[in-house]
């Protein structure tokens, strides 16, 4: 299924605004823009590809300021969306959130999934503790 072109453009515009706010660490305004975009997607939201990247973006709104439980809720929704399950970034972020919450069993599963799809490249630019953790459990 494809979204109406006008609605899709509006979603993209709102998402780009959200991305700019996220880049500027303005998490509140980023969240607002992403939620506005998500509201434009018909239900069930998990059937639309645009929902995948909007849920990921919302997860990152919470991931970067270390609000890991909230981040997990959005990343979990992204996993239910098209191409979400095998998405290495979603698995990386889920693993990082669980790691930071001390749930190393769940962290291991998600981080290994990310590693298996993308290799060590998925960990570039991330704290070294995550790749070291994966290296210990391989």
Helix, strand, coil % over all residues of the chain, rounded to 5 = 75, 0, 25
Task: Specify the 3-state DSSP secondary structure of 17.
Answer: helix
Q: What is the pTM of this model?
A: 0.95
Task: Specify the 3-state DSSP secondary structure of 65.
Answer: coil
Residue with tokens 């006008």: 6
* Mean pLDDT computed over every residue of the chain: 96
Longest distance between any two alpha carbons in the chain, whole Å = 49
Distance CA 123, CA 130 (A): 7
On whether the CB atoms of residues 75 and 62 are closer than 8 A, the answer is: no
What pLDDT does 131 receive?
96
Q: 50 — alpha (psi -120 to 50), left (phi > 0) or beta? A: alpha
Say whether pLDDT at 76 is over 90: yes
What tens digit of pLDDT does each residue of 38-56 get?
Answer: 999 999 999 999 999 999 9
Q: Which residues of 22-50 are buried (b: 16+ CB within 10 A; e: fewer)?
A: beeeebeebbbbbebbbebbeeebbebeb
Say whether pLDDT at 125 is over 70: yes
Say whether pLDDT at 32 is over 70: yes
What pLDDT does 138 receive?
55
- State percent of the chain over pLDDT 90: 96
Residue with tokens 């998600």: 110
Query: Residue 114 — pLDDT band, cuts 50, 70, 90?
Result: very high
């Amino acid at each position: 299924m494809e979204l109406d072109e006008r609605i899709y453009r509006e979603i993209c515009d709102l998402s780009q605004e959200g991305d700019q706010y996220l880049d500027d660490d303005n998490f509140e305004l980023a969240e607002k823009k992403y939620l506005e975009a998500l509201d434009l997607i018909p239900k069930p939201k998990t059937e639309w590809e645009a929902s995948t990247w909007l849920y990921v973006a919302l997860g990152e709104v919470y991931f970067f300021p270390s609000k890991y439980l909230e981040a997990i809720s959005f990343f979990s929704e992204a996993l239910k969306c098209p191409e979400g399950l095998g998405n290495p970034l979603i698995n990386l972020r889920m693993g990082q959130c669980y790691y930071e919450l001390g749930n190393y069993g769940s962290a291991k599963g998600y981080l290994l999934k990310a590693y298996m799809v993308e290799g060590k490249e998925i960990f570039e630019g991330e704290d070294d503790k995550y790749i070291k953790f994966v290296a210990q459990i391989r």
